[in-house]
Amino acid sequence: MRTTITLESDVEKLIRREERKGRSFKDIVNVAIRRGLTQAPTTYEPVFPTFDLTLRPGVDPNQNFNRLASAIEDEAVLAKLSLGR
């Protein structure tokens, strides 16, 4: 089958690099399309690392977290006030 396609500049550079290795344009394009359409997609790699977060010892996950957050904030405020003395 003959067809006309417009290649983006980065794709053209990749093809030209392969042509310098002695491969034909037709072969490069056919192999690339065949691979792209038959191979399973690669798994997604997150951009940012993820971490398994655990609670501090003594923190009950069933406790009201709003109350816990308020208590932690109160402790931070008291610590700042005691440093200012």
Task: Render pLDDT for 4-24 as a digit per residue (tens, 0 to 9).
Answer: 999 999 999 999 999 999 999
**Percentage, residues of the chain above pLDDT 90:** 47
**What does the alpha-carbon distance between residue 20 and residue 13 come to, in Å, rounded to a whole number?**
11
Q: Which helix (H) or strand (E) holds 32?
A: helix 25-38
Q: Per residue in 49-72, pLDDT tens? A: 778 878 778 777 776 778 888 889
User: pLDDT value at position 84?
Assistant: 63
User: pLDDT value at position 85?
Assistant: 58
Select the more confidently predicted residue: 1 or 10: 10
